[in-house]
Amino acid sequence: MAIAVSADPIITTASILGVYNLWIVADPIEVSLSLYSTRSQYPPAAINPALDQEFDCNADSDNPDIPEVVVGITGTWFNICIIADPIEVITSLSGDYIEGVLVSASPITVETSFGDADIVLEAVKSNWIKWSGIGDLDFTISRDNVAGERPLDWRGWVYQIKKLGDRVVVYGENGVSIIKPSGKYYGLETIYRLGLKGKSAVTGDNYTHYFINTKGELYSLAEILQKLDYSEYLAAMSNPVMSHDVENELIYICDGSLGYVYSPKDKSLGSGPVNITGVSSQGGTLYVVAPAAVTIPDFEICTDIYDFRTRKNKNIYSIEVGTDLTETLEAAIDYRIDKAVSFVTTDWHTVDSRGMAFIPVMAQEVRVRVRSTVYEYFEVDSIIINGEVCSH
């Protein structure tokens, strides 16, 4: 029986035009090739050795049916460093097994059409950082030994590198480290052993950074590392993107489904748009980047947990909200008697013209919620909880 096997060339291309300073980090490229065979009749006739055919799939072969995988990048190149994980090619045969067919692996050849450009293949260094010579975009280590590289003392990918005062902070998959220049080299001090919740789960300026760890806890880093938490909200986010609004002193935290706004000034977290990916102020104009229209959710805030410095139960009668809001405001109370159980939220109650809402509950710990369904700028000056501590 004669067997004919052929596969058309498989070409994968990527085009990038006008590149001036680029790092490309590519995840593994997996290419699966399947060869299919057919029988001339059923049931098959006895094999006739005189009809056997052979062909060579080695790289040196002139056979036009050799499967080919081409990865190409075109454009103008200046100071380019491309880091690519291994390209994995998997071949398989589908159909009934036929005795005498030999399947073996063939070598993969990497070629360049960049003229005099060189291709450097080396092991992946996911937790390494590099620095260039002063005023140079080339990270190649030369004889002056100014450019260099070093590994971090935690495993996993480096997500972001941000300047903080006279230091540089490296945020990654499994840790946060500070590196400071020491002569021609950089000293390493790892300050946190949990990684970030995502590649964009960090933001900030030259004075303060904010990041979310893998447990969904919010941290700030300035002179010291401070835990802000809010994990009861942020832990549900899948891949948060943090954006710093310098003009209004706000931190936007979005993942496409959930959105929050943190105020470093007031140390408060509230609901916010779900799809903001960048905020910047240029020439007095505030620019907001998002993949679709930005929708402002209803205003809602929630206070921290209060036990009034006693673990006895409390009878809450009402709350008073001091604000200049002209539209309707609503309030509710989260309460619990046991610190080991979840909070229960009351129904929403309208805040009257005096700023009061009557919400009777008995609890050991409480949180106050306030919301408005009408878009209006206002400030909450005070929240007073009226009640009494039980004697037992």
Query: In this structure, what are the phi and psi dihedrals at residue 103, rounded to the nearest 5 degrees?
Result: -115, 125
pLDDT tens string 271-318: 889 999 999 988 888 899 999 998 888 888 888 899 998 989 999 999
Residue 258 in tokens: 């959930």
Q: Where are the beta strands (DSSP E) in 44-164?
A: 69-74, 80-84, 87-94, 128-131, 148-151, 158-164
How far apart CA 148 and CA 113 sit, in angstroms, is 29
- Contact indicator for 365, 339 with CB cutoff of 8 Å: yes
Q: Give the mean pLDDT of 126-136.
A: 84
How far apart CA 84 and CA 40 sit, in angstroms, is 44
**Preceding peptide of 43 cis, ω within 30°:** yes
CATH code of the domain occupying 301-389: 2.60.120
Q: How confident is the model at residue 38 (pLDDT cuts 50, 70, 90)?
A: very low
In this prediction the pTM is 0.60
Please tell me the predicted confidence (pLDDT) of residue 10. 42
- Give the start-to-end residue ranges of the domains of the chain: 1-124, 301-389
pLDDT tens string 2-30: 333 334 444 444 444 444 445 555 555 55
pLDDT tens string 316-342: 999 999 988 888 899 999 999 998 899
How far apart CA 368 and CA 334 sit, in angstroms, is 6
Q: In whole numbers, what is the pLDDT of the chain averaged over residues?
A: 79
